Structure 1
Amino acid sequence: MSTTMAEQAGFEAGAESGPHTDESPQDDEPLSAELRAERAARARVAAARLAAEGVEGVILSWVDNAGLARVKTVPVRRLEQAAAWGVGAAPCFDVFLVDDSITTSRHIGGPVGDLRLIPDLRRLTRLAAQPGWAWAPADRYAQDGTVHPGCQRRFAQRMIRSAALRGLELRAGIEIEWVVALADAPGQPPVYPTHGPAYGLHRLVDLSDYLRDLLHAFDEQGLTVLQLHPEYAPGQFELSLAPQGPLGAADTTVLARQTIRAVGLRHGLRTSYAPAIEPDGVGNGGHLHLSLWREGRNLAQGGPGPYGLTGEAESFLAGVLAELPALLALGAPSPASYLRLVPQHWAGAFQCWGMENREAALRLIPGPPGEGAASANAELKCFDATANPYLLIGGVLAAGLAGVDARRALPAEVPGDPAALPQGEIPRLPGSLAESVAEYRTSGVLREALGDPLYEAVLAVRQGEIELFAGHTPQELAAATRWRY
C-alpha cells in the first residue's frame, strides 16, 4: 500500500535528495588512461577523508538479475586502486538464482572470465549503521576497460541518455516496504515484535527506538525522508524518500535497504523485503513513482490530456501500460511475486489506469488543487522489492520512450475496482512468473533496450527460478524466499 508523492511534497523542481542527484551519465567508451588517473585522484582525496572519519573498509555493491545485492569490499587504503582499475568479480554472477545456484545463458555463464567492479564515487557514503564502513555502487567493466554488456546499472544509464536525447528527464522514487521479525533462526516462522493495528500508533510506540535510529541513520547519510510509518501487515513499515533522477533513485533504494537491515540487526530484528512473508498476506511492494519533465516543466500537468497530462506524458504512460505484462519479468521477477499480485490487495493486478485508483496497475496522482503542478506524478503499483532497481527503472524508461515515439494514447480510464467488473472486461496482468516470462519473450522493446546478453541472462534466471520452485505450495514458496530479500 502506498503514500502519494503529492502527500510527500515530492516531485517539485529542486526536490532532489541532498547531494545525490544524477549527473550526466557516463558514456560507454572504454576506460582511458586519463579517466583512470582522474578516478584515482578523486578516490585518493575521498579515501583520506573517510580514513579521518574512522572508515576502514569500502563496500562495492551491484544487484544481480535475481534482485539480490552482491558485494566485494576493499580496505579504504585500496580505494584509489579500485577506482582506477576495479575489483575482480566473475561474470557468472549474472546467472545466479535466488538460492545461490547457478544457471547459464547463451552469452553469459560458466567458470571462465572476469570483470572489474568500478565504484561510482559520486555516491560514496559513510554508513551510519555500520561503523567503520563506507559504500558505493559499482559499474561493471570487462578487463579491457569496455563496459560489460550485462551491467544492469549501465543499462539504466543508457536509457537515461536515450531520454535526454529527446529532451526528456525522469524523476523517480521507489517506495520501500519491509517486515521486521525477531531474529530467530531463518527456518522458523516469523515472530513479530509488535502486534498493534495496521497503520497504528501502537506499532510506532512499540518500535519507536528502532524507528528513531532509522531516521538518524538516513539523516547522517544525506537521505531525505519524507515519510516513515507502520503499514498494513504485521511487523510491516514503509519508507518514502525524496524523488531523484532515475539513477539516483535506484542507488538510493540499494543504500536505504542496506541501512534498514543494519539498523534492525542492532535492535535484534530480522528484515525482509520479500513480496510474500505469509502466503495469504498483502506482502511487500516496491511501487515506482515517476514524473516526466522537459526544460524544468512537469509534463504531468497543464496539458490537454486526461487530468492535465501533456501529450508526451500521456504517451509515455501509455507505452509503460502497454508493456506492463512483459515488464513484470523485471519488476515482479520472483515466483513469490505472484502471491502478492492478486486482486483486491491494492497490488495493481489489472492492466489499467485510474486517477487515485489503488487497484489499477497505473495510478495517476494529480496532486491536491493549489499545491502546484510540480507534485503531479504516476505510480506503478504492480512491482515489488525482488526487482533489480536498475533493470526496473531502465525497462520502464524504455517502454515509456517507445510510447512517446509511437504517440500512444491511454485507453479508457477505470475509475473503480476492476475486480468488480465483468470477468475479462479489464485485462489481468500475468498471474505467474511463467506468464510474465512468456510476455517478456515477445517484447521487442525490452530485447532491443537491454541488448541480447543482458536480455538473455535475465531470461535464463527467470526460467531457472520457475524450475527451482516448480511444485512448491504457496506456503513453501513464501518460506523459501522470505529471508532471501
Structure 2
Amino acid sequence: MTDRPAAAKSHQPDPHVRRILERAELEGVELVRFLYADHGGVIRGKAASRSRLAERLTTGIGHTVAMMAMNMLDQLQEVEHMGPVGEVRIVPDPATYVPLPHAPGAAAMLSDLRRLDGSPWDACPRTFLKDAVAELATEGYTLVAAFEPEFTLGRRLPDPAGGPDRLVPIDDSLCYAGTGFDTAHDYTIKLVRALETQGLRVEHYHPELGPGQQELSVRHAAALRAADNHVLYRETVRGVAMRMAMWATLAPKPLAGQAGNGAHLHLSLWDDTHNVFADGGEVLECFIGGLLAHLPALTALTCGSVNSFRRLSPRAWSSAYAVHGPDNREAAVRICSPLGETGEPNLELKPSDSSANPYLSLGAVIHAGLDGIRRKLDPGESVDVDPDTRPGRYQRLPASLDEALDALEADEMLMEALGPLRRTAYLAVKRSEAVAFSGMDPSYELFHHMRVF
C-alpha cells in the first residue's frame, strides 16, 4: 500500500517539481530538508534524499503527531491526540525550494503538516497563517510584512566554573560603529550572499547596541512568504556562523544586562490598487485599534518564550506599553514614516522576537487587525512621549510568559481563531516551559535560549 495522501493522487504534477529535480541534480544536492516551526518556536524537520525526492514531493515524509506537543527543551507534553499513536506528513511547498549555501549538498523547503488523506492538520502553523490570509482576503485586503531581526554573534565556550556554556560576543563595539562593521565583516558578507542566493533580498545592515549584536533586514513580502523568509533567515544566520566556527543566536535576551534581540514586525495593508495605510484614515486607525485591543494576548504568540520577557522592559526601546505613536520607538505600535518619495508607510509591531513561531505570530496579528477593522475599534490617543514617563496612564504589557498566556486564554477571538487542538497544544507547551525555567538559575535559561534560538 502506498503512503501517498489520497488528495494528492488526483492532482497533476506541480510545475515546480521538474525544476526542483533538475536543480537538485545540477547543484549536487543530496539532501533536501523539509522544515516547519513547532509550538515551542523551534525550527524542525526531516530531509529527503535526492533519490527519493520526486516521490517525497508528493507524499511528504511521515511524522509523529507528538512532535507538536514537544517544548523547546524536548520535553513531551500530555496533549490529547498528540501522543504515541497517530501520524501526519511533512509536505513541502515546492515553490519554496532553495539551496543552502551554508550547508553544501543540502537544500530546503518550507512545509505544511497534513493528515494522511492530504487535508490540512488542525495543528499546522503554516496552515493557520494561510487561513488568516484567506480571511483577510474576504474583506478585500492583503497583508505585506517583514520581520526585522537582531541577533548576537560570538563564540560558544565552556564555562570555566563548570556551568552551562557561555556565549562570548565577537566584539564590544559601539552601536553603529565602524569597528563593529569591520569585526563582523567576513561573516556578514557570507551571510548576505547566502540570503541573496535563497531569494531573500537584503535591505539594511548595521552593528547594533549590544556586544556582538547585529541587525540585518530583508525586504518585505506577502504574509506567507514573509514568514517563510524568517524561517530561512533564522536557519541561515546560525548556519553561516557554525561554518565559520562561531555561534549566532536570535534569542531575545542571550546575555544578562545587555541589549535584547527583537524581530520587529513591519506591516502594511493593501487593496487591489494601493497601500491603504497611506490614506491614514479609518482602516489604519481600526487596524491599530485591533492590535492594541488584543496586544496582551498577542504577546503570548509574538514573544513566545520565557526569555522574551527579559527584553520587554520599560525604557529599553522594546516596548512595554500598549500604545501607538508616529516614530515612537517606545510604543508597542510605531507608525513608521516613509523613506523618500517612493517609500510606503507601515506599522511596526515592536513586541515581537525570533523565539516566536512566525506563522502563529503573523497569523494572530492578522486576526487582531482584522477584528479591529470589522468592529471599528478605536486605538485611543497617539502617544508622542516615552509612555514610562507617565506612570499609571497606559496599559503595561504582560511581564512574564505566564501573564501573557493568561491573557491569551482570556481572549475569546484569538482562542477561537487558533482552534481547539492548536490552542490546547500551544498552551500546554508554553505553560511547561514557564514551569521548567521557574526557580532555575538565570544562566540556565540564558543558555538554553541561546542554544535553541
TM over 0.5: yes
SS at match of 2:323: strand
**Residue 251 (structure 2) pairs with residue 274 (structure 1):** yes
| 2:341 aligned residue | 371
Cα distance per residue 1:80-135 (max 9 Å; x no partner): 11121110111111111111111122x44211111101100011011122111111
Q: Does structure 1 retain, via aligned residues, the 8 Å contact 2:331–2:350?
A: yes
Structure 2 Cα separation of the partners of residues 123 and 243 of structure 1:
16
Structure 2 Cα separation of the partners of residues 153 and 294 of structure 1:
23
**Residue 374 (structure 2) pairs with residue 398 (structure 1):** no
Output aligned runs, 1:179-198, within 5 Å.
179-185=152-158, 187-198=164-175
**Residue 331 (structure 2) pairs with residue 357 (structure 1):** no
Structure 2 Cα separation of the partners of residues 332 and 130 of structure 1:
29
Q: Which amino acid is the alignment partner of residue 213 of structure 2?
A: Q
SS at match of 2:277: coil
| 1:100 aligned residue | 74
SS at match of 2:203: strand
Q: Which amino acid is the alignment partner of residue 438 of structure 1?
A: D
Q: Does structure 2 retain, via aligned residues, the 8 Å contact 1:287–1:381?
A: yes
Q: Does structure 1 retain, via aligned residues, the 8 Å contact 2:16–2:95?
A: no
**Residue 48 (structure 2) pairs with residue 74 (structure 1):** yes
Q: CA deviation at 1:44?
A: 4.0
**Residue 410 (structure 2) pairs with residue 442 (structure 1):** yes
Cα distance per residue 1:234-271 (max 9 Å; x no partner): 11101111100010000001111211112111221111
SS at match of 2:341: coil
Q: Does structure 2 retain, via aligned residues, the 8 Å contact 1:43–1:79?
A: no
Structure 1 Cα separation of the partners of residues 49 and 215 of structure 2:
33
Deviates more, 1:165-174 or 1:181-190: 181-190
Q: CA deviation at 1:429?
A: 0.2
Q: Which amino acid is the alignment partner of residue 468 of structure 1?
A: A
Q: Which amino acid is the alignment partner of residue 323 of structure 1?
A: H
| 2:267 aligned residue | 290
Output aligned runs, 1:187-266, within 5 Å.
187-266=164-243
Q: Which amino acid is the alignment partner of residue 385 of structure 1?
A: S
Q: Which amino acid is the alignment partner of residue 275 of structure 2?
A: N
* Number of residue-to-residue matches in the alignment: 445
Q: CA deviation at 1:30?
A: 7.3
Across the aligned residues of Structure 1 and Structure 2, the Cα RMSD in angstroms comes to 1.6
| 1:24 aligned residue | none
| 1:109 aligned residue | 82
Q: Which amino acid is the alignment partner of residue 272 of structure 2?
A: E
| 1:484 aligned residue | 452
Structure 2 Cα separation of the partners of residues 70 and 346 of structure 1:
31
Runs of 4+ in 1 over 6 A off after TM superposition: none
Q: Does structure 2 retain, via aligned residues, the 8 Å contact 1:180–1:270?
A: yes
**Residue 10 (structure 2) pairs with residue 34 (structure 1):** yes
The one of the two structures with greater contact order (alpha-carbon pairs below 8 A, sep at least 6) is 1
Structure 1 Cα separation of the partners of residues 255 and 183 of structure 2:
22
Q: Does structure 1 retain, via aligned residues, the 8 Å contact 2:169–2:211?
A: yes
| 2:392 aligned residue | 424
1:293–1:188 CA distance, 2 compared to 1 (3 A):
same
SS at match of 2:144: strand
Cα distance per residue 1:179-217 (max 9 Å; x no partner): 111243483222222222122110111121111111211
**Residue 354 (structure 2) pairs with residue 385 (structure 1):** yes
| 2:130 aligned residue | 157
| Stretches of structure 2 lacking an aligned partner (at least 5 in a row) | none
TM-score in terms of structure 2 length: 0.95
| 1:316 aligned residue | 287
Structure 2 Cα separation of the partners of residues 111 and 412 of structure 1:
51
**Residue 113 (structure 2) pairs with residue 140 (structure 1):** yes
**Residue 381 (structure 2) pairs with residue 412 (structure 1):** yes
Structure 1 Cα separation of the partners of residues 376 and 318 of structure 2:
28
TM-score in terms of structure 1 length: 0.89
Q: Does structure 1 retain, via aligned residues, the 8 Å contact 2:34–2:47?
A: yes
Structure 1 Cα separation of the partners of residues 34 and 347 of structure 2:
32
| Stretches of structure 1 lacking an aligned partner (at least 5 in a row) | 1-28, 303-308
| 2:98 aligned residue | 125
Q: Which amino acid is the alignment partner of residue 181 of structure 1?
A: G
SS at match of 1:191: strand
Q: CA deviation at 1:281?
A: 2.0
SS at match of 1:350: coil
Structure 1 Cα separation of the partners of residues 447 and 122 of structure 2:
34
| 1:19 aligned residue | none
Q: Does structure 1 retain, via aligned residues, the 8 Å contact 2:156–2:166?
A: no
Identity over the aligned pairs, expressed in percent?
A: 33
**Residue 425 (structure 2) pairs with residue 457 (structure 1):** yes
**Residue 296 (structure 2) pairs with residue 325 (structure 1):** yes
Q: CA deviation at 1:481?
A: 1.9
Q: Does structure 2 retain, via aligned residues, the 8 Å contact 1:108–1:457?
A: no
Q: Which amino acid is the alignment partner of residue 75 of structure 2?
A: S
